[in-house]
């Protein structure tokens, strides 16, 4: 029987791609196993790699602040990443790395059964098999898709590092988070 702890153990021991070679810790993700929102980031950064937990560095603190402002409690969501190990020099994950990690993400998705997936950034959106050239084409929209036989609703927005660097995008990011919260709240599970 699959459970989140079993998936986390497999991720922690995973050697399916080269990212495991230099990782300190894999970052399976965690949070509320009955979450209406599953937050999917791109990949662990330096602090996540050291602690084995998602979004605990600067981007995580920024995300927490904006989730709170949007009326979403971090303890009410499940947070994970498209890729479970830190890419060297914080580069974006490759399509091969995203594809290699996708079965773990799908298993987590099938166990949590969120009403909405909040995809943060291009790699997270790519992990959902969404078709687009630029994030701006899908940002702020709910897209229904099928992942490995499971129907899911995905809401894509910026990775928190983007509005951190570009303050003019912070209002848009906050409004996206508020909308995601409302969508999840109004969806029956």
Number of domains in the chain: 1
pLDDT tens-place string over residues 59-73: 999 999 999 999 999
**8 conformational bin, left if phi > 0, alpha if psi -120 to 50, beta if neither:** alpha
* Average pLDDT estimate for 150-171: 96
Query: Residues 70, 5: contact at Cβ < 8 Å?
Result: no
d(CA 80, CA 105): 8
Does the pLDDT value for residue 1 go beyond 80? no
Q: What digits encode the pLDDT tens for the residues 8-37?
A: 999 999 999 999 999 999 999 999 999 999
Q: What percent of the chain has pLDDT over 90?
A: 90
What residues make up the domain containing 176? 4-185
List, for residues 33-83, the tens digit of each pLDDT value. Answer: 999 999 999 999 999 999 999 999 999 999 999 999 999 999 999 999 999
* pLDDT for 189: 47
Q: What is the CATH number of the domain that holds 45?
A: 3.40.470.10
| Length of the chain, in residues | 189
pLDDT for residue 186: 85
Both tokens assigned to 178 = 């508020």
Show the tokens assigned to 64.
């927490």
């Amino acid at each position: 029987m699959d459970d989140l702890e079993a998936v986390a153990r497999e991720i922690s021991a995973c050697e399916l791609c080269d990212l495991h070679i230099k990782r300190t810790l894999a970052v399976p993700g965690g949070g509320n196993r009955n979450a209406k929102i599953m937050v999917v980031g791109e990949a662990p950064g330096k602090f996540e790699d050291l602690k084995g937990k998602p979004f605990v560095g600067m981007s995580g603190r920024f995300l927490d602040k904006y989730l709170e402002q949007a009326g979403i409690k971090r303890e009410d969501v499940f947070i994970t990443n498209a890729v479970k190990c830190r890419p060297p020099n914080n580069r974006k994950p490759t399509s091969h790395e995203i594809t290699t990690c996708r079965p773990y993400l799908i298993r987590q998705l099938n166990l949590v059964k969120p009403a909405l997936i909040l995809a943060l950034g291009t790699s997270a959106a790519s992990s959902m098999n969404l078709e687009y050239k630029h994030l701006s084409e899908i940002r702020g929209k709910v897209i229904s898709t099928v992942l490995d036989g499971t129907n899911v609703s995905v809401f894509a927005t910026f990775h928190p590092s983007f509005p951190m660097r570009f303050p003019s995008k912070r209002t848009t990011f906050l409004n996206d988070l508020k909308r995601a919260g409302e969508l999840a709240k109004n969806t029956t599970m």
